[in-house]
A and B are shown apart, each in its own frame.
Chain A
């Protein structure tokens, strides 16, 4: 039954990603170049609603939380490598699959690169586990554990910060020439 749930969640998620434009490498690069923040705002809104949602609902029904461990070196180094690849290719592991669904040819190359990266990682895992994954592992910690606040309170503050950001930062940055004309904020 959970397999069916996951399939349905995947279909809905793929459709949302496609409609948001997050499967477009051009939109990803526009976000990373701070020219059009709509994808970043889409993600920030998702996270803000989700963190309130899970910790509110968690008071009512049992939730299937699964916190990933914080092993500092691997998480940060992995994030830096991921961010570099994100800017080079314009795809994430999931958005390239959505991109294949909407018939983007370059998404196949991102997927193929991903499979190659997975093979490479599998082959070197034994070498990098000790220096990069084992050290400085603080376990499955959350911001609630660190601050000793109730999770819902942390979620409320964090969500408020995210929603303030999405509401007040302009989505589309006016180019240098247009900056003096307020009406020219949408292209």
Chain B
């Protein structure tokens, strides 16, 4: 409770006054239209496949023999895909939105009781990053590919993945909060 005492950095939802939608609602409508446009233009949005494609691109230079023999790298293919372009766009979009809105993101937010130093926050970010990509690749997609695009297309896999993510996420957040 105490570590969350400071107000959230950007997304304070507006009070519902008159016709004004809260920020999450108007941004959600825009994101929904964007994901529709993406599927109309070229295909559903997705992100996490870019990580193993990046590994593949490096291994094809460093160890071409191994890269050619690894069936997963062969299956994931070249880094030149729409998904990679989307990820480059995310970087640019995050940069531009922060710049144009004048919102300054903190260098690191301490989010758990055990994060008593910035170093421990970096450790948690690293461990979390490792787990999300390993889990996403095992399941075949992440928040964008499985949850946003998957459930949007009514995929059973997306619904199951989403339920597992929020179940484990809420439980873990609760366990960590209890102190470790």
Contacts and interface: CB of A to CB of B under 8 A. Distances in A.
Interface of A: 2-30, 32-36, 38-51, 53-55, 57, 61, 63-72, 74-107, 109-122, 125-126, 128-129, 132-133, 138, 140-146, 151, 154-155, 158, 166, 171-172, 175, 186-187
Cβ-closest 8 pairs across A and B: A89-B128, A10-B89, A14-B93, A49-B32, A85-B131, A79-B164, A113-B129, A45-B28
Nearest to B73: A122
Contacts of A78: 134-140, 161, 164
A99 B47 CA distance: 14
Interface residues of B, number: 128
B133 A113 contact: yes
A32 B41 contact: no
Given A53-B32, A74-B140, A79 B163 contact: yes
Interface of B: 1, 4, 7-11, 13, 15, 22-25, 27-45, 47-48, 50-52, 54-56, 59, 70-73, 80, 82-83, 85-98, 101, 103, 105-109, 111-112, 118, 121-174, 176-177
B150 to A, nearest CB: 6
B87 A21 contact: no
